[in-house]
Amino acid sequence: MKETILQSWQNAWPDVKSSKPLETGAGVIDESAFKTIEVDEVFEAINYASTIVGQAVLFRALTQPMDALAEIKAKQEAVEELRRKPALKAIIERIVQNAAESEKSFYLLLFGEFLGSFGTARDEHEIEGFGYLQYKRGVRFILELVEQIQASESPQSSYLKGIFEKIKAFAGTRPYSLMQGPVYITENGIQCKEERSEGFSPAIIFKPRIFKPLLITLFFGIIWALAHFFPTAMFKVSVEAIPTASIFFVPLLLIYFPIIGGFDRDSCIIPLRNEFKKSKAVAETLDALGQLDELLSSMKFADTFGGKMVLPELVDAPHHRINLTDARNPVLGKHNKNYVGNDFVLEDDKLVLITGPNSGGKTAFCKTITQIQLLAQIGCYVPAKSATLTVADKIFYQAPEISHLDDGEGRFGTELKRTRDIFLASTAKSLVVLDELSEGTTIEEKMESSSNVLNGFYRKGNSTILITHNHQLVDNFVAQGIGLPRQVEFANDAPTYKLIEGISRVSHADRVAKKIGFSKEDIDHYLSDTQ
């Protein structure tokens, strides 16, 4: 079961990016694929969530995407229901917007730093005084969320209905009762009204305010009684003189405030916030709010992208398959009418071999494929005219790495270890992108090692995409009837960013060198100027 957002925030102020990818083989993507696919940039492109917890839920979805077909379809159905029912969508938008305006008060209650009686708050993490105001605002945030959901019509889709029911169920929990009050401080600890009704024991009722009318009345009543019934030298004050004498008790307020306020803070507010912070029910309710916001964010992303967007058709198959029409990159294609889309089909062939000169768009295209697969597996819209794919149990992307000083294997060994880990963790349902193979060795060894690796992946049956400049390697596989040869198209020495059939056998290294100002002519010119 996934860690809740509140669990990931236990030791720090709420952070939208608190979730982390799982270890290689444990989740759909690992840390290396997360960085290479540029999930951070994908998040920034699709994030339209209004609440902090909504953004955190969206980021968690990207770092730990779903791999169950039924769960993803249920999420898609929730989006489709919101499309069909604008009134329901408007209700949820209002609930989320109200939450966005007040949620920080809840985080301040849970994670704020108390400054003491006379401290002055200088940032959003600090709490002045004894925390009464922060407590009232914080619990009101949760209580109003539950109240608004209870007053709303229940959705029909299983995913949305489950979210509503989770929030409604919070009304039957101990934390909810404590938030509603009254709260009792007993010798057995803090109790809610339901627990209090089960037995009787002396208790103090906690009210989140510094002035306690009953306590103050009781104090002055005792003084009056002592003066009236025991007119000793110590209490030789007439009843009529009590109002005048009361001014002498003003200094007692300087003692009253820290004693009463300190007691409420240390014995009530801090224990209550610790209970809320560790409560599974609170965590699930907060997650449910984030899930509502995440659904709205997906819809806003689709509405504002600036091109055709679809909810992909998800199919079940014994091995990974993907079929895209006019697919565009979720990051680069956003608000870019000139972005060049591509069709891509990888079904029974299982292997695609992509060649072409540098800066032709090979890597951008492969990141497009993996990013679309990732978005599909969080139930999100994808930028394409049509998209049909299976759910990948793993999405791997291997890019050339620089070896570390403590590695001991060199560049070739570092890369090979990563390839081995991917190979062992992948299955027939995985999507694997390999950006070059066997770097850091001789041409002969590169051919042999790359052939062995690709044959291994092909026999495993997963979808494998290889980016390579080694057209001889591609020739060998095509000659065996294995794999689909594709190349990035160039016209007039300029990339068109279209992926077409064939094998590229040309290099544009000199063009790239001239573009960045480091061609042979640039070097000769520099040397002639310095001599």
**Which tops the pLDDT comparison, 81 or 2?**
81
Rg of the chain taking only CA atoms, in angstroms: 32
Res 113 pLDDT > 60: yes
Cβ neighbourhood burial of 356 (10 Å; 0-12, 13-18, 19+): buried
What are the φ and ψ backbone dihedral angles of 271, each rounded to 5 degrees?
-60, -40
More confident of the two residues 310 and 413:
310
* Cβ atoms of residues 319 and 393 within 8 Å: no
Q: Map out the domains of the chain with their CATH numbers.
A: 47-173+279-303 (1.10.1420.10), 207-275 (no CATH), 305-530 (3.40.50.300)
Residue 337 burial (CB count, 10 A):
7
Mean pLDDT of the chain: 87
Q: What is the pTM of this model?
A: 0.88
Between residues 269 and 118, the one the model is more confident about: 269
Q: What is the mean pLDDT of residues 106-127?
A: 81
3-state SS, residue 384: coil
Structure confidence at residue 474 (pLDDT): 93
Q: Is the pLDDT of residue 373 over 90?
A: yes
pLDDT higher than threshold 50 for residue 84: yes
Q: What are phi and psi of 103, to 5 degrees?
A: -65, -30
Phi, psi of 473 (to 5 degrees): -65, -45
At position 101, the amino acid (one-letter code) is E
Instruction: Report the pLDDT value the prediction gives residue 442, as an integer from 0 to 100.
Output: 64
Q: What is the pLDDT of residue 216?
A: 47
